[in-house]
Amino acid sequence: MEQQIRWGILGLGRIAGVFAEGLKHVPGSTLVACGSRGPQKAEEFGAKWSVPRRHASYAALAADPEVDAIYIATPHPLHRENCLLCLEHGKAVLCEKPFAVNAAEAAEVLAAARRHNLLLMEAMWSRFLPHLVQVRDLIAGGAIGEPRLLQADFAFRAGWNPDGRLLNPQLAGGGLLDVGVYNVNLAHMVFGVPQRVMGTAHLGETGVDEQAGMLLQFAAGRLAVLSCGVRTSTPQEAFIAGTEGRIRIHTPWWRPSRLTVSIPGKGDTEYAPAIVGNGYNYEALEFGRCLRAGLTESPVMPWAESLAVMQTLDALRAQFGLAYPMERRAA
């Protein structure tokens, strides 16, 4: 019989509930525990999602012997310490994007997973969605020839809340780490590690990037043209142009979506892969597969790629002139 995976969720905000809903569609997985900074949200979340083990601290969740895997759903600057806490208690970890605030933190967390020989995966949920699996298959099958140029945008207009995690520098706010990371991750997925990274951003009233434009150059002159933001709304589309044709990933490209493959002279082909659940089940499904197979990393979102994405984000932020308070303190 398949090993049941007993999940815990750490940090009970917005995305925690979305993930709890996704888990309902993952055979062999049960949400058994949740952990909050205090008792109230643990009780409320536990009652809403029928979670039996409700912890009033992250440490208590990490130490729970009835939990196999922990999904970390706290703001970016907490990812490092929350991951380390769970790994030190022998738990497999699925950590929200961005994997950390910067590459140095990411490397520290990866080293801990390596040391403890535990599964650790970045919850870059888009990568696991059927339409992006289809994109990888189409490219690998030569459907558009050699991919040469990728374009992706992801910006939305958030309300003005300087204390919230989107605009607050103390919570590593800004568009790049919140949504730009999706574009950068897609570019890494298609082209690998960039050789040159260029970017410019508008740093708003709170000092974080409200919008940014980025250009990544890869081997053999392949290019990614990306934009992101949290105070303007863009179409949220992506396309990948190759020597023989192109793939359009329809809006919103980073959620469950559909594709159009256009080959000059041969017309268009539409792909609309079927979706089960809310989409967050696919990352959990892959995580479960890896855990049962005794893997420490997923071949779909490998450690080296999570680290390389953080390095690209660091390089972009250096060009934006954006260092977070916790980084300035650490320097």
Ligand X SMILES: NC(=O)c1ccc[n+]([C@@H]2O[C@H](COP(=O)([O-])OP(=O)(O)OC[C@H]3O[C@@H](n4cnc5c(N)ncnc54)[C@H](OP(=O)(O)O)[C@@H]3O)[C@@H](O)[C@H]2O)c1
Among 178, 297, 314, 327, binds ligand X (CB under 6 A): 178
Q: Which span sits near ligand X by CB under 6 A: 73-81, 205-213, 221-229, 256-264?
A: 73-81
Contact at 8 Å (CB) between 113 and 93? yes
**Contact call for residue 75 and ligand X (CB under 6 A):** yes
Q: How far is the CB of 58 from ligand X (least distance, A)?
A: 7
**Contact call for residue 312 and ligand X (CB under 6 A):** no
Q: Which span sits near ligand X by CB under 6 A: 11-19, 47-55, 230-238, 258-266?
A: 11-19
Q: How far is the CB of 257 from ligand X (least distance, A)?
A: 14
Closest CA to 49 of 8, 78, 5, 86: 8
Residue 52 and residue 74: Cα distance in Å, rounded?
Answer: 21
Compose the 12-51 pattern: x for residues touching ligand X by CB under 6 A, - for all others: xxxx--------------------xx---x----------
**Contact call for residue 55 and ligand X (CB under 6 A):** no
The neighbour count for residue 62, using CB atoms within 10 Å, is: 23
Contacts of 320 (CB under 8 A, 6+ apart): 176, 199, 200, 201, 203, 209, 212
Site for ligand X in 189-208 (CB under 6 A): none
Read off the DSSP letter of residue 199.
E
Contact at 8 Å (CB) between 161 and 167? yes
| Cβ nearer to ligand X, comparing 158 with 201 | 158
Contact at 8 Å (CB) between 155 and 229? yes
Binding site for ligand X (CB under 6 A): 11-15, 36-37, 41, 73-76, 78, 96-97, 123, 125, 165, 171, 178
